[in-house]
A and B are shown apart, each in its own frame.
Chain A
Amino acid sequence: MKKDDQSEKTLSRRNFLKTTGGVAATAAAMVGGLNLLPAKAEAAGYALPKKWDDTYDVVVIGSGFAGLAAAIEAKNAGASVLVIDKMVLHGGNSIINGGDFCAPGTKLQQENGVQDSAELMLKDMLRAGAYLNHPDLAKMVAYNAKGALEWTESYIGAKYAKLNFHGGHSVKRAHGTINSSGSELVNKELAKAKEIGVKIQLRTKLVKFLSNKDGRIVGIEVRKDYKFPDDNSGKPAFIKAKKAVVLSSGGFSRDIKLRQIHDPRLTDRFESTNQPGATGEALLAACIAGAMDVQMDWIQLGPWTSPDEKGFGYVPLFCERLVGYGPMINPKTGKRFFKETGNRKERADAIILIGDPVIIMGDSYAVNKQIFPMALQKGVEAGAIKKFDTLEAVAKEYNIPVDVFLKEIERWNSYVEKKKDDDFDCMIFKDAQPTVVGPFYAARLWPKVHHTMGGLNINTDAQVIGFDFKPVKGLYAAGEVTGGVHGAVRLGGVAMADCIVFGRVAGTNAAKEKPWG
């Protein structure tokens, strides 16, 4: 039972019902305040607090890429805006993200001689997504990514230094931030949001959405001064959203219970790259308020994570820069086993099928050219990336049959020379060179839960769609909490594009809603 610790100012729904009396309230009290099972659903189910603790035009849940983009657009459209986040720090997964923003036909691509188009990006997204993507949503991202990227540069002030490649894309289209972290963008979004007068309130956890009798979302119940992950911490409060609520609370990669419901394989044997707060309760709260969820069982494992470090770590920055320059080897056989530049799902499945960690490796030419020096240094210091003088030493470290291995490297080198991989059709980059120059670097790979493609069903206006196929009034969503954009597989670097494109749409449209009261 929840203890009655609310201050004079706040009024929990349970107590409110007690004071109103009546059959419905008694029924509610009987179930212990956990659930409302009113005799007359319409009368009691939509009971609203007598007093709101705070009132804003637009309330945004989550302070990552999408939430802050929504907040900024809503504020600039004239709305008063509050952003809440349950964690002690802003930024969610965005602030630990690798900082790659995919967009087609940009200036940086032109400078690097890369031919690209929105059409090609969409094609890549759909192919990787096994054509399960909701095409209109995927199209929104592909065709608006360039504009979104330019907005983050010209208006937010984020800086991108390098064009990167991610498996599954036809060309290099990932714009890497100057510090190889999403913090470059999300911190600048936060600074901009604060500058224009958006209120940011951390340690405030969404408990439930509040709807009126028409099913319109009118506000939220939260716990203020919440201390993750203690659900009894903090105090209840009610925040009125006069125009709309934007849900941008991220995915549920860290929610072992929820992810196992949708993909029972994903037990606690699988670590996650995500921040600890990447759990699904806000998404579920939206479902309880009438939102429809889609494709929840498409949960992405990152094929580039290391079992030798915690969380995301440094190895992904090493691995993803090396594919197309160096080979992945199965230590058991000493041979390559899969297309290094394949998409995340294909590669993760291939590694899981082997059943034990594999290695990714590169020589000094590839590593010095491709790897962000800090990532290399930190990865080596953490012991997750290892350095070897000879190929024989690599074989020894990972118990690889050395003769087979040396022959396999020769074979790989011959493919690099002719820029064509006869075995797995790996994309080999123009400036790739044979793996011959010591010292060599290698890291072990074992997948971790990385992204949840499924989530709330939205339309191209970022309105959340309900089980009646109509928009849930007053509710918008953007970013990883939504589903459909990526289908079966999200390609690397497309999350940033997704978040900024739909975050902006959600914020703009939320501010346009007619106030309900």
Chain B
Amino acid sequence: MKNKKIKKPLLTVLLAVLLFAVLSGGIYAAPKEKKASVTKAKTVDVKAWDCAGCHKDKKVLPDSHVPIKEMPYEACLVCHIPGEKNAGTLRTKIPGSHLHALKGVKCAQCHGKVKKPAPVEMSKCVACHGETAKLAEKTAKVKPQNPHESPHYGTSADCNLCHHQHAKSENLCAQCHKFDYIVP
């Protein structure tokens, strides 16, 4: 199970385009929890940069934001870099599903080709992002505590406990601890 498929955004996009071509017969998927402003119809076909395609008239970007029509994910990252006076990382600003979409990951890649998409098993996350034990090594120095390894659950806690895709992510540790993580 150590087939880390893809890491680099560009590769992701390429693979996604390829997959999309293969699966183009019909991809069904819809976010599990919908915002009131998002219509149910065909969110699956909306391009990632097309906010109004789902959110209709509701303003989701600040007024000062540059136009994003046809903008690829790499272009987002030109401004969205961490640090003071920068736009900050995009990871906490929009839901995980949107990041996936921006990187070209289609609904069906996680939810499968089904009419009624169900919650995704953690094995799907791990298939692309790698085993959680490896992830925990990478975040070993995060303060005040490694978010991916705890005395309670080891490295086995489900990604989706914190990293939601169709709702705001949450800091589950914070229900008992004073850990002020920013959760993508």
Is B151 interfacial (CB 8 A cutoff)? yes
**B residues 152-184 touching A (CB-CB < 8 Å):** 152-154, 157-158, 161, 172, 175-178
Is B83 interfacial (CB 8 A cutoff)? no
CA separation between A43 and B101, bound complex, in Å? 56
Cβ proximity bits A373-400 to B, threshold 8 Å, 1 near / 0 not: 0000010011000000000000000000
Jot down 25 A-B pairs with beta carbons below 8 A, ordered by A.
Answer: A88-B158, A88-B161, A89-B157, A95-B152, A95-B153, A96-B152, A96-B176, A179-B151, A181-B151, A181-B152, A183-B151, A183-B152, A183-B153, A187-B153, A275-B175, A275-B176, A276-B175, A276-B176, A311-B176, A311-B177, A378-B144, A378-B145, A381-B143, A381-B144, A382-B144
Contacts of A231 in B (CB 8 A): none
CA separation between A179 and B152, bound complex, in Å? 10
Cβ proximity bits A161-189 to B, threshold 8 Å, 1 near / 0 not: 00000000000000000011101000100
Nearest chain B CB to A40 CB, angstrom units: 42
Question: Residues of B with Cβ closer than 8 Å to A?
Answer: 143-145, 151-154, 157-158, 161, 172, 175-178
Classify the secondary structure of A's interface with B.
Answer: loop
Contacts of B154 in A (CB 8 A): 183, 187
Classify the secondary structure of B's interface with A.
Answer: loop
CA separation between A309 and B179, bound complex, in Å? 11
Evaluate contact between B161 and A89: CB separation under 8 angstroms.
yes
Closest 3 CB pairs of A and B: A311-B176, A95-B152, A181-B151
Cβ proximity bits A328-340 to B, threshold 8 Å, 1 near / 0 not: 0000000000000
We find that the number of chain A residues with CB closer than 8 angstroms to chain B is: 19
Contacts of B152 in A (CB 8 A): 89, 91, 95-96, 181, 183
Nearest chain A CB to B69 CB, angstrom units: 37
Question: Residues of A with Cβ closer than 8 Å to B?
Answer: 88-89, 91, 95-96, 179-181, 183, 187, 275-276, 309-312, 378, 381-382
Contacts of B153 in A (CB 8 A): 89, 95, 183, 187
Contacts of B145 in A (CB 8 A): 378
CA separation between A275 and B161, bound complex, in Å? 16
For residue A272, which residue of chain B has the nearest CB? B176
Evaluate contact between A382 and B178: CB separation under 8 angstroms.
yes
CA separation between A411 and B162, bound complex, in Å? 52
Contacts of B177 in A (CB 8 A): 310-311
CA separation between A179 and B175, bound complex, in Å? 22
CA separation between A71 and B172, bound complex, in Å? 27
Contacts of A382 in B (CB 8 A): 144, 178
CA separation between A181 and B157, bound complex, in Å? 17
Contacts of B151 in A (CB 8 A): 179-181, 183
CA separation between A467 and B70, bound complex, in Å? 71
Contacts of B176 in A (CB 8 A): 96, 275-276, 310-312
Evaluate contact between B178 and A309: CB separation under 8 angstroms.
yes
Contacts of B178 in A (CB 8 A): 309-310, 382
CA separation between A311 and B175, bound complex, in Å? 9
